[in-house]
Structure 1
Amino acid sequence: MSSKGAPRELRRGRFSRAALRLSIAAAILLLAACATLSPQQADQAYAIAAAARSDASTCDALDACAQPSPLRQMADKALQESTPQQPRHYTVILDRGTDALLARINLIRSATSSIDLQTYIYQDDDAGRLVLQELLDAARRGVRVRVLMDQLSALQSVESLAALSGMHRNFHLKLYNPVMRRARITYPQYAIAAACCWRQLNQRMHTKLLLIDDAVAITGGRNYQDDYFDWSDTYNFRDRDLLVAGPVAHAMAEDFRLFWDDRRAVPPSRLVDVGRLLLSRGVPALAPAEYRRPERAASMRDDAGDVLLVFERLASEAREVGKVEYVSDGPGKHEAETPSEFAAASQSLGGLIASADREVMLQTPYLVLSRPAQAMFERLHDRPDAPRVVVSTNSLAATDAFIAYALSYKYKRRYLRDFGFNIYEYKPFPEDAPIDLQATGAFLPEFVDAPLPPAPSTRPDRSSVLRSARYRKPLAAEYGATRHLRRQSNEPVPLRRAGVRMGMHAKSLVIDRRIGVVGTHNFDPRGDNYNTESAVIVHDAAFARELAASIRRDISPANSWVIAPRDKPPVLSGLEYSIGKISEWLPVFDLWPMRYATSYEFVPGEDCPRPIPPDDPGFRQCYRPVGDFPEVNLALKGLPTRLFTAFGAGLAPIL
């Protein structure tokens, strides 16, 4: 053997051994991920949980010791006054997070026979623990409680799921569409599932519902997590739910039953990880609820029992309406070979938009439209009498999913020019948002009047609800290239200054101020093709005006920037536009650096007493450009956003 050959052979041997070890590790991981329970073991684990369930009761009354509730009373009144020909409903728009949590707890306590809860996310934090404790209390006083969570976003503790499986005979829990027959999966297991079972992995239950006694319900955008109820001290969602009482609750009950009885809804005890724990250790005790801010949870419990307070904050705002529809995809969507053909929510919302005569108001956190939706809006814009389309969505500074924003950024020209959208992007620190700042527990500095800065800067400005001179040092490693392989890729971007931030999460629609819609659909490709979605459609002009006023508050200059075409360059503007348009249509390599549109801030003055739309001839006299990504620390986020704009078009169907 030559002196040069020995090292080469040695390197080959080392490479072969490394490849072998990698292959063995991958095989072991694959076998571990694919391990399952036998049918006999699954039955045995289920039986262990069932045998452990307590039948102790805290109440012997026929009404299960239900707490009097003005919200529950609205349902009785609506059902008594309704006829098949003239239904009667009462609705309450729940804009504030604390009101949404108050309504839920109050209604749970008012239940006399049944509670059905369906959700995409259920987090083990203060809000999640509080609601779970109320559900268990309801079960112990004699109410049948059924909880259905999407598996990928359900409670993260296998021990907690095992404990809840054997908690009480009146408490029933299922997980929807469990990947690899597990309650929880690791990131390596997630990668294996993506490789072997892509369609199943993406078929998620995005439907959200809380139904009390088949009579009154809450549905909308909120999941069960602190961020949705103004209980986070760093980031909260500006979201919207609708409380509706009346006959439409029967349709909701039937839809929930379809999900509950579907083969994809599985008790945790029949899943590999929970089942093995039950087989080896029996049913563990449920860990006591420990709150990060116990005084806040105690205050919410007290408020939920205050009938007068609940009436003043919620029931007194109820609106009497007539026809109400509940539209849901149902689990059958996941049986279809072509899911979009069975997307009842998408089809219903599309039909409403196409019927508009004067105005469409659309609110969505992620402005990433499916191809059918783009075609529909293009046809709408091409009509001689095209209605105005107003879109409320997130800015990069406000969003919790910057990859989705990057794709929205890519298609701004199309949205503005081809579809005629008036786009308003929500600010991270809105001045006039329906948020309970004290409930967040965040540091709240004193408000200080400050003049509007002449250009984007790192100084606090009047667009902030927290005009603080404190700056948070961004974590450079948090937004490195490898970050996009981890869960943090769907988290807010770092900003130039500190403060409790808000991001848009509401999903609503208003047609001609005559029909109002509150639901779960983001008007995106996932909603068309993968997620099950639902919506409440209220055919009432007064309700539609109320919902429109709520959205107009969100798009006011205090709360949103306006997106409009940037000033044309002095030379070769037509060439730049043409190259940008061609680059935008490329499926992968959209590398043209100049974008058609940018963000604008309203500058009030003697000649600009009130905001005007971006297509008004006087727009540029009343608005000044503030850059593509106002408030964002571009040193960390500008490049990744542009990279995903350039290369991320293929991700649109799943974002």
Structure 2
Amino acid sequence: MTRITLPSRRLTALFSAALLLSLLLGGCAELPSLAGRTHSVTLLDTADTKLAQAIMPLAAQHPGVSGIYALSDGRDAFAARALLAAAAQRTLDVEYYIWHKDITGTLLFDALRQAAERGVRVRLLLDDNNTAELDDTLALLSKQPNLEIRLFNPFALRSPRALGFLTDFSRLNRRMHNKSFTADNQATIVGGRNVGDEYFGAAGDVLFADLDVLVIGSVVGAVSQDFDRYWNSPSAYPATLLIKPPSRGDAGDIALEADRIDDTKAAEEYVQAMRTSPFVQQLIERQLPFEWAPTRLVSDDPAKVLDKARPGSGVAANLKNLLGVPSKELDLVSPYFVPGKSGTQAFAELAKEGVNVRILTNALEATDVAAVHAGYAKWRKPLLEAGVTLYESRRSWDEGDAREKTGRFGSSASSLHAKTFAVDDRRIFVGSFNFDPRSIDLNTEMGLVIDSPALAGKLGQAMRGSIPQRAYQVLLQPDGTLYWIARDAHGGITRYDTEPGTSVWKRMGVAILSVLPIDWLL
């Protein structure tokens, strides 16, 4: 008989005290009133700005459509943001889920500060879930005239943040996952990247293989209006209402920190690599080869984080309507792929009807969230039985210098983070939406549906060509067990009968997580 050991009285007392303290702190911490918050909207009088003068002649040649340039390289993605911030003359509207205080994060903070110092109106909207280490920096930035920061769905109790979940879990578990960077209502960047070294190819260890698009033309106005919707929503709180003002210093301290980072070897090498990028020269010289196509914004209602959004109004429903039902091809890239029973059934039905369904997600060795892999792993067998092709992105592969050969979805020692899918090589989505319950039901998401056979076809070509050499393909044996194969550039194949690149302990942990009823949290 197994003996059950009850907690000691001392442990019970400590637990009770901690719970009581959390309830007291959580109960005392309330969000401030928004009575004095100002209402602001997109500035439309930007036709005389440098960006407008460069973009409007191009847009006039392509009325009603938008110019799209894919930013698959992390350094190009950082450069695009930095150059837009430097070029802006009237307004910068910026929203992100994560913003790290590292090389690229600090440099972009300073780029926003410099823009505000020039007289540009800067509105920065950050989801509050990942700002625990930023309060001091945000307090300094808030002292810069023309620069306002709002925190979306914030924690009333600033520290320790975790205690807030005990008393307000249903609200705080819902987050703003949106990502956009818009300058002068003329150009915007939308996609999967947050702000941080790992997203921009500056990290020393693991890089996120990601995808953004730089966009000009008709859809930019819709992105600006959507930003207004979030900025003025009941969930967007001025940072100054939540963060204590700095005891000393001002926004100039951000410039000093950026100067200090600029002098480091890592930053010098990164900035030099960015400056020599062909993309930078093409952008400066107005030579970027934009793909012009009908483009529509899909975005959740910010009321979703309060569980008050109108049913059927979200990104998931709109994507189905705008992308249409695949008749031949469906290519889906999602780093956090948790299809659930209904999603698995939908993919299976498509495959059984003759649609080539190809899905790329992270392998266990490459994922940064093992619990999400557990939520996905249980559905591999029924997907494979229905004829779905499954690829799992490897952490690394032998392809020479990864810095020189970064592909659309990968680099050496990388974790997949791009979120994109294409239907029938005709239409493609690029944005923040993961195919998981969290994106569908809990977080707000946004992205662009682009009617472009050229862009959609590139994803299809990658899934049929380069991806099989950069990912494991998951296959099913006659007895129902899984195995993985890795292909190399020379046609060689290596077989694995367990999750490649993982320990038995990690596999056991995932197996335990996979039987827990936590899919709705993933």
Length-normalised TM-score, structure 1: 0.69
Partner of 1:115: 92
Instruction: Find the partner of 1:170 among 146, 158, 166.
Output: 146
Q: State the alpha-carbon separation in 1 of the partners of residues 466 and 401 from structure 2.
A: 9
Query: Aligned equivalents of 2:12 and 2:326: distance in 1?
Result: 61
Counterpart Cα distance in 1 of 2:98 and 2:328 = 36
Instruction: Tell me if the contact between 1:105 and 1:304 (Cα under 8 Å) persists in the aligned partners.
Output: no
Aligned mates of 1:73, 1:296 — CA distance in 2: 36
Residue 565 of structure 1, aligned match among 472, 476, 498: 476
Number of the residue aligned with 1:461: none
In 2, distance between residues paired with 1:163 and 1:89?
A: 37
Q: 2:451 aligns with which of 528, 539, 544?
A: 539
Deviations 1:542-572 (A, max 9, x none): 2222343455565131x11111103x3xxxx
Aligned twin of 1:374? 344
Residues 349 and 374 of structure 1: is their aligned pair in 2 closer, same or farther, counting only changes over 3 Å?
farther
Q: Give structure 2 stretches of 5+ with no counterpart.
A: 1-5, 39-44
User: 1:92: how far off?
Assistant: 0.8
Mapped contact 1:329–1:342 kept (Cα < 8 A): no
Structure 1 pair 517/21, CA: closer, same or farther in 2 (3 Å)?
Answer: closer
User: 1:630 and 1:292, CA in 2 relative to 1: closer, same or farther beyond 3 A?
Assistant: farther
| 1:528 equivalent in alignment to 2:477 | no
Structure 1 residue aligned with 2:117: 140
Separation of aligned partners in 2, 1:18 and 1:423: 47
Cα 1:369/1:37, change in 2 over 3 Å: closer
* Conserved? CA contact 2:468–2:487, under 8 Å: no
2:69 is matched with 92
The answer (yes or no) to whether the contact 1:102–1:303 under 8 Å persists in 2 is no
- Secondary structure in structure 1 of the residue aligned to 2:175: coil
Deviations 1:504-558 (A, max 9, x none): 010011111111211111111101100111111111212222343455565131x
What aligned pairs does 1:29-68 form with structure 2 within 5 A after superposition? Answer: 29-36=22-29
Q: Which moved more, 1:341-350 or 1:531-540?
A: 341-350
Residue pairs, 1:334-345, within 5 angstroms: 334-337=305-308, 341-345=311-315
Query: Match for 1:389 among 357, 368, 393?
Result: 357
Decide which of 21, 42, 47 is 1:28's aligned counterpart. 21
> Which of 291, 303, 306 is residue 332 of structure 1 equivalent to?
303
Q: Distance in 1 between matches of 2:112 and 2:249?
A: 19
The equivalent of 2:497 in structure 1 is 627
Is 1:255 the counterpart of 2:140? The answer is: no
Per-residue deviation, residues 125-179 of structure 1 (Å, max 9, x unmatched)? 111001111110011011111111100112613222222222x221110110012
Q: CA deviation at 1:94?
A: 0.7
After TM superposition, list the pairs within 5 Å mapping 1:252-651 onto structure 2: 252-271=223-242, 274-275=243-244, 277=245, 281=247, 286=253, 288-289=256-257, 290-291=260-261, 294-298=264-268, 310-312=280-282, 316-337=287-308, 341-351=311-321, 355-383=325-353, 386-418=354-386, 420-432=387-399, 436=403, 501-552=413-464, 555-557=467-469, 559-566=470-477, 568=478, 573=479, 577=480, 596-602=481-487, 623-632=493-502, 634-645=503-514, 647-648=515-516, 650-651=517-518
Query: Does the aligned pair in 2 maintain the 1:64–1:112 contact within 8 Å?
Result: no
CA drift at 1:372: 4.0
CA distance in 1, matches of 2:401, 2:389: 23
Q: What is the TM-score of this pair, normalised by structure 2?
A: 0.86
What is the SS of the residue equivalent to 1:341? coil
Q: Quick check: 1:165–1:267 contact (8 Å CA) kept in 2?
A: no
Please say if residues 122 and 155 of structure 1, whose CA atoms lie closer than 8 Å, have aligned partners that are also in contact. no
Give the 3-state SS of the residue equivalent to 2:311 in structure 1: helix
Shift of residue 628, structure 1, vs aligned partner? 2.5
Q: Output the amino acid matched with 1:173.
A: I
CA pair 243-193 structure 1, distance change in 2 beyond 3 A: same
Deviation at 1:313, TM superposition (A): 7.2
CA shift in 2, pair 1:639/1:604, >3 Å: same
Return the offset for 1:397: 1.1
Post-superposition offset of 1:37: 7.0
| Cα 1:311–1:16 shift into 2, 3 Å | closer
Contact 2:344-2:382 at 8 Å conserved across structures = no
- 1:332 is aligned with what amino acid? A
Conserved? CA contact 2:180–2:190, under 8 Å? yes
The structural deviation recorded for 1:306 is 8.3
- Aligned residues of 1:230 and 1:435 also touching (Cα < 8 A): no
Matched, 1:214 2:185: yes
Change in 2 beyond 3 A, CA 1:38/1:552: closer
Tell me, yes or no, if the aligned pair for 1:209 and 1:218 is still in contact at 8 Å. Answer: yes
CA contact (8 A) 1:525 1:652 kept: yes
> Contact 2:150 / 2:238 at 8 angstroms: preserved in 1?
yes
8 Å Cα contact 2:125-2:151 kept in structure 1: yes
Amino acid at match of 2:374: A
**Aligned partners of 2:499, 2:147: CA distance in 1, in Å?**
47
Q: Cα deviation per residue 1:275-321 (whole Å; 9 max; x = unaligned)?
A: 4x56xx47766453142873453566678788986233796452331
Contact 2:362 2:393 in 1 (8 A): yes
Deviation digits for residues 578-599 of structure 1 (CA, Å, limit 9, x no counterpart): xxxxxxxxxxxxxxxxxx3221
1:161 to 133, 138, 145: 138
Structure 1 unaligned residues grouped into runs of 5+: 1-11, 48-61, 440-463, 466-499, 578-595, 610-621
Indicate conservation of the 8 Å contact 2:121/2:147, yes or no: yes
Q: Which protein has the larger Cα radius of gyration, Structure 1 or Structure 2?
A: 1
Whole-Å Cα distance in 2 between the matches of residues 143 and 530 of structure 1? 34
Summarize the Cα distance change of 1:389–1:398 in structure 2 as closer, same or farther, 3 Å threshold: same
CA shift for structure 1 position 118: 0.5
Distance in 2 of aligned mates of 1:365 and 1:304: 26
CA distance in 2, matches of 1:560, 1:372: 26
1:392 positional shift: 1.2
Q: Which amino acid aligns with 2:326?
A: A
Aligned pair count?
503
For residues 434 and 643 of structure 1, do their structure 2 counterparts lie closer, same or farther at Cα, with a shift above 3 Å needed?
farther
SS in 2 for 1:532: coil
Aligned-partner Cα distance in 2 for 1:163–1:366: 35
Q: Does structure 1 retain, via aligned residues, the 8 Å contact 2:46–2:184?
A: no
How far is the alpha carbon of 1:377 from its aligned partner?
Answer: 2.1
Distance in 1 separating the partners of 2:342 and 2:473: 26
- C-alpha separation in 2, matches of 1:109 and 1:65: 16
After TM superposition, give the deviation of residue 335 of structure 1 in Å: 4.2
**Residue pair 1:354, 1:380 contacting (<8 A) in 2 also:** no
Contact 2:188 2:215 (8 Å CA) reproduced: yes
Residue correspondence of structure 1 range 194-213 to structure 2 within 5 A: 194-213=165-184
Q: Does 1:106 align with 2:83?
A: yes
CA contact (8 A) 1:74 1:90 kept: no
Tell me the distance in 1 between the aligned counterparts of 2:48 and 2:275: 13
CA RMSD of aligned residues (A): 3.5
Q: CA separation in 2, counterparts of 1:336 and 1:604?
A: 49
Contact 2:100 2:196 in 1 (8 A): yes
- The equivalent of 2:195 in structure 1 is 224
